[in-house]
Amino acid sequence: MEEKYLVCEDSIEGVFTGIYEAYALREGHEHIHIQIGEEGNLRLFATYINIEPDAVKTAKVAQTLRKRLGDEVYLYICRALAAQDRMKGEAVYKTVVNGLSKGGGRRVMENLADTHVERTFELARSAANEALRYIEIVRFKESGEGILFSKIAPKCNVIPFIMPHFADRLSVENFIIFDDMRKIYGVHPALKDWYMVSDSDNSVYDMFGESDKENEYQELFTAFCKTIAIKERINPKLQQQMLPLRFREYMVEFDKK
Amino acid sequence: MEKLNILADAAKYDVSCSSSGSSRGGNAKGIGNTVSAGLCHSFAADGRCISLLKILFTNECIFDCRYCMNRRSNDVPRASFTPDEVCALTMEFYRRNYIEGLFLSSGILYSPDYTMELICQTLYKLRNIHHFNGYIHVKAIPGADPALIHKAGFLADRMSVNLELPTAESLKQLAPNKNRKSILKPMRQIQNTISANKEELTLYRHTPRFCEAGQSTQMIIGATPESDYQIMSVAENLYQKFSLKRVYYSAFVNVNEDKALPALPGGPPLLREHRLYQADWLLRFYGFKVDELLTDDRPNFNMRIDPKADWAVRHLELFPIEINRADYRLLLRVPGIGVRSAKRIIGARRFGNLNFNDLKKMGVVLKRALYFITCSGKMMYPTKIEEDYIVRNLTDDKERLKFTNDGMRYEQLSLFS
Ligand code: SF4
């Protein structure tokens, strides 16, 4: 039988709409695949169908997944789709099939011997790990108006996963976190709900200027980090293993070295 | 700035940096929440995690502990914070997401009570004027009025009293102004208040919380001649009898070049410290008892392999175990299988028999586990089941490099000891 590729946008909406359409085809799932974005090499004897993200279909899929697979599995799926990986759409789609149609149900994520489940699990884990990492290493600067602003460049789309943490922790603060890779802002007005906006460039971020005190605290913290190391134990390799260089770009304590 | 340098420098030998154990949501009034797993915001050049603003309130001290940089007889620059300074630093660092909270310790200025009072004032201001709702770890000063310790405990997430040295004799020798009693007394008090508070909390949900993240302590390793067996037995006791959350081990650094203390030309005993942490982990999460790991005849850990592997190779008669049937407790005893992979195995084998490839996907380190397990009755490949051979294959050379400056040192140590 001919293979069918549903070409979806790289977003939760894109892939969920793809899953909706895959079920709508009613031809079993063996020969249907979800592909994210265009691929260079088209396969012969395969049909490619472009899927436009659709809010209504997305909502239906989301509802079904939450109801039948539970919130925990749903969270795995959302995290996996935040990962930076070309095969994530297929992994998630086949995991969903495993859960809904092959009896995996709420326990589907435990079935790690299944390749797609394992893939989804790993992707979700990498996205969750990166989100956790960013919860730790986001560094806010204070603007002249007292707004906290921060720039990050994560591999995965972590903003939706880290905003709830900061919104809870810094509820009385106005703050924004800017994802420089995707040009997405997470915005939190003091004592209100947070939201996300996207932009085409860095113009909003670049409007923030640092307050008078800002530099002083950056220097204090930099000095603190230096002092706290025990010289008899200096071990840059261990430091690098714990905190790889790629994360340090926007961390004030490493900035000026 | 100078002050922060002096008082952070003076605090750095205190190892506990963990910010874990409390889980508290934010509130609309102030700033801060706590995350039960703890967070590490940065890493210092020695590879240790920076989680808390770890400072001394003052490095003035009327005591004269021989291992301590701040002892009375040392001529070092002295400084003290004011409560407001500590508050400002904590708040501004916290808002910028530099830190998870505050770790406040102190030398003893004038008297234990005077110092503890200042610490209480600081915490009170942080909590009630700045509405700081993040993590606070505070030291109880030995000898301070129990009422002050009580007060501090209601303002902090975690309290600790350092045991400093594993035995009373060592303490007498090196910390002439302290004694076992002045350390264990506040420890017991904190334990009792925590447990009373827990009971109260089940009755009245809004009772203020006392040291939600429990109590911890620290021992200095390698300054005195205690064996690993003695040290771990003390730790086990502290976990069981004093309900401590964590015991920390701190490789001795001879800051004072004091003649009463060992010189340690090879640097601090980092690999030994690492072994103690590994063993501590086995006590807390793997169901091991100290007596299983060490004995009077073998009082020190094997520097070549980790304590769990060491236990396993000395109990080859129990292995191999069958992955698809063994219970959780037994799985945990296999080198290369951690808490997480053991749980995954239990979950995944409900869907069918697991093979070695599946185990790999679940994070099992097969290179280490292969001597101890079978999948559906088969070993991964035929291999010699013989103690020396396995030990050689489980020895991790990278580990040694990580914890020593010269790979030789521990070989020599074990040769001559
Ligand atoms: S009491 Fe002892 S360990 Fe503590 S600061 Fe004073 S001299 Fe140092």
User: Which chain B residues are Cβ-neighbours of A234 within 8 angstroms?
Assistant: 45-46
| Mean of the per-residue pLDDT values of chain A | 88
Q: CA B107, CA B105: separation in Å to the nearest integer?
A: 7
B279 falls within a domain: no
Which band of pLDDT confidence, cut at 50, 70 and 90, is reported for residue B21?
low
Domain count, chain A: 2
Which band of pLDDT confidence, cut at 50, 70 and 90, is reported for residue B44?
confident
pLDDT score, position B397? 65
Q: Are residues A7 and A125 in the same domain?
A: yes
| Mean of the per-residue pLDDT values of chain B | 85
pLDDT tens digits for B284-343? 999 999 999 999 999 999 888 889 999 999 999 998 999 999 999 999 999 999 999 999
Q: Are residues A82 and A184 in the same domain?
A: no
Q: Are residues B195 and B337 in the same domain?
A: no
B13 falls within a domain: yes
Contact of B238 with B244, CB cutoff 8 Å:
yes
User: Which chain B residues are Cβ-neighbours of A167 within 8 angstroms?
Assistant: 26
pLDDT tens digits for A30-41? 999 999 987 767
Q: Are residues A75 and A142 in the same domain?
A: no
B381 falls within a domain: yes
**B71 Cβ inside 6 Å of ligand 1:** yes
Q: Are residues A174 and A100 in the same domain?
A: no
H helix or E strand, kind and range, residue A165? helix A159-169
Q: Are residues A154 and A115 in the same domain?
A: no
- Closest-CA distance, B123 to chain A, in angstroms, reads 19
Going by C-alpha positions, the residue among B329, B326, B288, B330 that lies closest to residue B307 is B288
| B405 at A interface, C-beta within 8 A | no
Q: Which pair of structure tokens corresponds to residue A188? A: 């939190």
Q: Are residues A175 and A142 in the same domain?
A: yes
- Least confident range of A2-11, A31-40, B278-287: A31-40
Evaluate if residue B125 carries a pLDDT over 90: yes
Q: Are residues A157 and A195 in the same domain?
A: yes
**B246 Cβ inside 6 Å of ligand 1:** no
pLDDT score, position A40? 66
Identify the domain containing residue A119 by its residue range.
3-130
Question: Reduced to 3 states, what is the DSSP secondary structure of residue B216?
Answer: strand
- Least confident range of A100-114, A229-243, B205-219, B349-363: A229-243
Q: Are residues A125 and A17 in the same domain?
A: yes
pTM: 0.84
Identity (one letter) of the amino acid at B218? Q
pLDDT score, position B28? 66
Which band of pLDDT confidence, cut at 50, 70 and 90, is reported for residue A52?
very high
> Residue A46 has what DSSP assignment?
E
| B400 at A interface, C-beta within 8 A | no
Which band of pLDDT confidence, cut at 50, 70 and 90, is reported for residue B176?
confident
Q: Are residues A118 and A32 in the same domain?
A: yes
A101, B66, B200 from B147: Cα distances, Å: 63, 29, 19
Q: CA A187, CA A220: separation in Å to the nearest integer?
A: 27
Q: Are residues A39 and A122 in the same domain?
A: yes
Which band of pLDDT confidence, cut at 50, 70 and 90, is reported for residue B231?
very high
B26 falls within a domain: yes
B296 falls within a domain: no
Nearest neighbour of B43 by CB, restricted to A141, A234, A239? A239
Going by C-alpha positions, the residue among B374, B380, B329 that lies closest to residue B353 is B374
User: Which chain A residues are Cβ-neighbours of B134 within 8 angstroms?
Assistant: 169
B48 falls within a domain: yes
Segment B383-391 shows an average pLDDT of 83
Which band of pLDDT confidence, cut at 50, 70 and 90, is reported for residue A233?
confident
Q: Are residues A19 and A125 in the same domain?
A: yes
| B181 at A interface, C-beta within 8 A | no
Q: CA B218, CA B160: separation in Å to the nearest integer?
A: 8
Q: Are residues A16 and A98 in the same domain?
A: yes
pLDDT tens digits for A180-218? 888 889 999 988 899 988 887 778 888 888 888 888 888
B61 falls within a domain: yes
Which ipTM did the prediction report? 0.86
CATH code of residue B144: 3.20.20
In A82-152 the beta strands, taken as DSSP E runs, fall at 141-142, 148-152
| A198 at B interface, C-beta within 8 A | no
Q: CA A1, CA A4: separation in Å to the nearest integer?
A: 9
Nearest neighbour of B28 by CB, restricted to A191, A227, A230? A191
Domain count, chain B: 2
Which range of B6-10, B105-109, B120-124, B382-386 scores highest in mean pLDDT? It is: B120-124
DSSP of B44-93:
-TTS-EE-EEEEESB---S---TT-TT-TTS-----B--HHHHHHHHHHH
Identify the domain containing residue B313 by its residue range.
307-395
B236 falls within a domain: no
pLDDT score, position B67? 85
Task: Indicate the burial class of A119 (C-beta count within 10 angstroms; 0-12, 13-18, 19 or more).
Answer: buried
